[in-house]
Amino acid sequence: MVNYIDYSEEVKKAKNENRPIVALESTIISHGMPYPKNIETALMCEDIIRKNNAVPATIAVIDGRLKAGLTQEEIEYLAKAKGILKMSRRDLPAVVAQKQDGAATVAATMIIAHLAGIKVFATGGIGGVHKNASYTFDISADLQELAKTSVAVVCAGVKSILDIGLTLEYLETMGVPVLGYRTEKFPAFYTDDSGYAVDYTVNDAKHAADIINAKWNLGLQGGVVVANPIPKEYSMDKDYIDNVIKEAIKDADKLGVKGKKITPFLLDKIKELTSGESLAANVKLVLNNSTVAAKIAYEL
C-alpha cells in the first residue's frame, strides 16, 4: 500500500504508537455542506476526536494519492475547489490512475480506512435503499461495502430521504449487525426515532467494542453499523421533516435529478425548506458521532 497511501504526520505517529484512530469522510466537506460551514464542521470533528483520546484521519484522494489524514490546507482545498469528484468504490481505480481529486463517500472511506488499518469511522448518515428503488434500482454502494469491509461505522442512522425499512432489510440480508448506541430505536438522521428497531442495544463504548471485536475475531468479515441518535435537544419533529423530505423528493423527480447528484440536491433543498434548521441538526449529529466513534476506537 505504500505505493498508494499517504499518512498525515499525526496519523503516522498514532499508527507507530498503536493509538486509536477514527476515520472521517470528505464528501461532507465537498458536497454535504456549504462553505464555510463545511470547513468549520470538519475541523470541529477532528478536534472532538482528539479531545476523546483518539486521532482523526479525514479520508480523501488528492492527485491520485489515497490520503489517511488531511492537513488543514487540504481540507480547505476540498471545501473550496469546484469539480471535486464524489467518489465511491467504482471510482477509486480511475481517480487513482488518472491522478485526480476525489472526496470519499461512506463506501470509499471504508475501503481506504481498511487499507490503512483504521477500524472505526464516524459519519453523518450512511446511504441506503432509495424510496423509488423498486423501479430505479437506486441502492447505495455503502450497503455492499458494509457487507464486505471490516470497519465499524458510527452514524445517526440513514438519511431520512431513504426507505429506512428496506435499508434495514438489506443490511439484515448482508449480515451487517445494527447496534443502537443507548437506544432500542433506529434513528433517522434528523430525528432520533425512525419507528424501526435496532438489532441490539449497546450501553456504552466498551459494550459496542466487545461486539465489534467478537465479530472480527470469529472471522466474520464486514462492517458494523453503530446507530447513534442525534441528541434529543436537536432532534427535529418527525412529521415536519417527513413532509419536507416528500416535497424535496417531488422537486428532484420533476427536475430528473438522479444518481450521485440526488443526495446533495435533496440535502440542499431540505436546508432551504427548513430555513437552515436541518443543516444545524446535521452539524450537531456528526459531532456527536465523532465523540462516540473516538470512545469506541479507544476501547478497541
Which active-site residues does the annotation give? 25, 159
The three three-digit cell numbers of residue 191, written as one number: 430525528
Instruction: Compute the residue count for the chain.
Output: 300
Q: Pairing between strand 21-24 and 5-7? A: unpaired
In the block, cell 428532484 appears at 252
Alpha-carbon distance 264 to 255, whole Å? 14
Residues 6+ apart with CB under 8 A from 237: 191
Alpha-carbon distance 293 to 123, whole Å? 9
Q: C-alpha angle with apex 133: 235 to 251, nearest 5 degrees?
A: 65
